[in-house]
Amino acid sequence: MNFSWCGVKVFITGINGFVGGNVARKLVELGADVYGLIRTNKFNSYLYYEKLDKKISLIDGEISDLNLLNQIISEEQINVIFHMAAQVEVGIGLKNPFLTFETNVRGTYTLLESARLYPDSLKAIVMASSDKSYGEYPRNDMPYKEDYPLLPKFPYDTSKACADMIAQSYTYGVRSLPIVVTRFSNIYGPGQLNFSALIPDCIRSALGYSKFIPRGDGSMMRDFLYIEDVVELYIRIAEFLANDKKTFSGQIFNAGSNSPKRVKEIIENIYTVIGEIDEYHNVLQKMKNKKTVGEIDCQFMDYEKVKDYFGWTPQHSFNDGLLKTIEWYKRYLKDR
């Protein structure tokens, strides 16, 4: 497939987040003209740490500001949108469901309404959803497949499922916008500076910069994707969608490693690689009988569909990605 990103105008919401920043980096390398919506100048974000802010056009504003989005999409003649702005923390969803729905639901329909009003230059809209949209299924029904009914219970999970259905309505019921919804498993790697997430928190702790805060007894099953594999897939999906709207618009794609691990295995891996196995045993003691609230027991994804459509498979094993990630955090934490 022939597709050149040179001169393509790309708008990324949530660009100062972990995934948005990494996607922006790759698109800049490919020659795209990148525009990003930022809610606040988070100078501790990957975007600023890697000095990407000097290579892209940043716009301050809210994802729910329809007039601002209209101005960006129409005046800049945006070709591709990556919608990654979200309130992503399960815990915040429980404490502040209003904020979660305001950002994840209202933000989505506001963006898509703007795209509906100014569709002429648009070739592709790629929506970042979540494996949590599916809700909780018994372990013997896993992995999640794209045709599974959405059964969310908790606020964050429900907000992402709602956003998915809104995207479908703008694909089929309103104006036939070229939209793909992506549901990926947990993503890790360089640039993840939300230290409430398991892997960055654990690495920071094992390197001696903080104390690890257990969130449960470690029995939950999780699936992880390395950020470089995720970025490659996002780029590929956008290219295919831009070239063939008829085939790809309205599609939903899962991605994961299909290799779930217990949370305590992940923690053990990190402490072992860093050489702090004694500290791991201390953490394990603290995790005993620790209850987890608002979390799904088991999550991992079937990725046969993206393999069939795009020839994509994860290129990084968990351990390979972990080694690269730890090295990046060593540099980042030393520089702070």
Return d(Cα 280, Cα 282) in angstroms, integer: 5
List helix spans (H) across 132-261: 155-169, 198-206, 227-243, 245-248
Q: What are phi and psi of 182, to 5 degrees?
A: -110, 135
Fill in the amino acid letter for 209.
Answer: Y
* Contacting residues for 71 by C-beta, under 8 A, at least 6 apart: none
Do the beta carbons of residue 128 and residue 83 sit within 8 Å? Answer: yes
Q: What DSSP character marks residue 107?
A: H
Do the beta carbons of residue 258 and residue 301 sit within 8 Å? Answer: yes
Which of 35, 144, 156, 170 does the annotation list as catalytic? 156
Return d(Cα 32, Cα 78) in angstroms, integer: 11
Return d(Cα 181, Cα 299) in angstroms, integer: 18
Three-state DSSP state, 187 = strand
In the residue annotation, 156 being an active-site residue is answered as yes
Angle between helices 318-335 and 263-274 (to 10 degrees): 60
Do the beta carbons of residue 253 and residue 146 sit within 8 Å? Answer: yes
Residues marked as catalytic? 156
